[in-house]
Amino acid sequence: MNAVACEDFHAREGYPTLKGLPARAGLGLKPEHYSHVLEARPDVGFFEVHAENYMGAGGPPHHYLEAVAGLYPLSLHGVGLSIGAAGPLDTAHLRRLRDLIDRYRPQSFSEHLAWSTHDTGFLNDLLPLPYTPETLARVSQHVDEAQQAIGRQLLLENPSTYLLFAESTIDEIDFLEAVAARTGCGLLLDVNNVMVSCVNHRLDPAAYIDRFPVERVGEIHLAGYDETVDGAGDRLLIDAHGSPVKTDVMALYDLTLARTGPVPTLIEWDNDVPAFPTLHAEAVRVDALIASQAARRNVLKRAG
């Protein structure tokens, strides 16, 4: 969600207005890079961490995160809230999340349009859900409950998917926009997820971006995918987060920026994490695209 919409949401709900992330490239903060980041202080727009990795009361993770948060803007990305689950949200998880947000005051908090719990069981994956009026009502209720519990807006991320539900009666973009309209949440646009899902379902990723409600986008994610073939011999993309951002995703990202303007953009690299200079090179590449699109918009504005 853009800055004005974010401020309107916080004012309406009585929450403090929070400064947003800079419209630059950010990186995931990895334990193997703690010391390098604190010693070298690389030029990075922001750092993002998975909230669940810092829900303990103390220890080395908090020691390092507190130091990094004193130097860089911080984004929290949740992977365990299970917003799409059929059952209620975990109130203990929400309390831990609120404690973490109160402790670090991140500029952004995001979660997935997915589910990962059933009854008392926890699944090590982010699973898709059918898009129906019933799931729309449930997801909206859960987003409302989460925002009330943590005392601030969340950004809801579009999923990467490998199957389509016969039960779905609502288009994915319409579903996301309806949740945002009902709850005041923002959207996190994962461009790699768009590419993965559209290739897997034989859809046009550029058309998806063209229809997406970019006025609600508060953050963008990029990542590398893996590629294989399905049983019919067609391309099958896997949202793997273990390699550089692919050329086609970067081209789709450039198309996205032409619609959104400069937006905080995270490079996700969670598996086979390389040395920090490799990650930083990805951030430099993304910063250059953001700057290039900003320059183009300024030229068009002056010409107009």
Kindly tell me the burial class for residue 285, based on how many C-beta atoms sit within 10 Å of its own C-beta (0-12, 13-18, 19 or more): middle
Q: What is the pLDDT of residues 29-64, one digit of tens each?
A: 999 999 999 999 999 999 999 999 999 888 999 999
Q: What is the pLDDT of residues 247-287, one digit of tens each?
A: 999 999 999 999 999 999 999 999 999 999 999 999 999 99
Structure confidence at residue 70 as a pLDDT band (50, 70, 90): very high
Query: Coil, strand, or helix at residue 33?
Result: helix
CB-based contact 213:173 (threshold 8 Å) = yes
CA 53, chain centre distance (Å): 16
> Which pLDDT score is estimated for 125?
63
> Which pLDDT score is estimated for 296?
87
Beta-carbon neighbour count of residue 143 at 10 Å?
24
Regarding predicted confidence, which is higher, 145 or 6?
Answer: 145
In whole angstroms, what is the distance from residue 109 CA to residue 76 CA?
5
Domains of the chain from N-terminus onward:
3-303 (3.20.20.150)
Q: What percent of the chain has pLDDT over 90?
A: 81
Q: What is the pLDDT of residues 110-144, one digit of tens each?
A: 999 997 755 555 555 678 899 999 999 999 999 99
The average pLDDT across 179-191 equals: 98
Best mean pLDDT range from 13-27, 126-140, 188-202: 188-202
CB-based contact 205:170 (threshold 8 Å) = no
| pTM of the predicted model as reported, rounded to 2 decimal places | 0.91
Minimum mean pLDDT range among 14-18, 116-120, 195-199: 14-18
In whole angstroms, what is the distance from residue 29 CA to residue 211 CA?
32
> Which pLDDT score is estimated for 118?
58
Q: What percent of the chain has pLDDT over 70?
A: 91
Contacts of 24 (CB under 8 A, 6+ apart): 44, 45, 46, 262, 264, 265, 287, 290
> Which pLDDT score is estimated for 171?
97
| Alpha-carbon Rg for the chain in angstroms | 19
pLDDT reading at 6 higher than 90: no
